[in-house]
Amino acid sequence: MHSPWLKLNGISYSLEEIRCGNFLQNDNPTLVFCQEWLSGKDKFELTTSGSTGKPKKFTSPAINS
């Protein structure tokens, strides 16, 4: 078994599985975000929760330290 890089809903994923898109939950936004981040994407479209009104979409640059 691989060393988990991310554990989500009780399922462990390696860095390589996420990078290659080798995961069963293809529609899971957390896994998709991680895959896009690892691919070097420089901007992300995010949506606020809408807890104080209508959810709003915004674009944020990736910031690597």
Task: Give me the residue spans of the domains in the chain.
Answer: 6-61
Regarding pTM above 0.85, the answer is no
Torsion of CA 59, 14, 7, 23, to 10 degrees: 70
Check: CB of residue 43 under 8 Å from CB of residue 59. Answer: yes
Is a pLDDT exceeding 90 seen at residue 56? yes
Is a pLDDT exceeding 70 seen at residue 2? no
pLDDT, the chain, mean: 85
What percent of the chain has pLDDT above 70?
88
Which residue did the predictor score with more confidence, 13 or 24? 13
Q: What is the pLDDT of residues 40-54, one digit of tens each?
A: 889 989 899 999 999
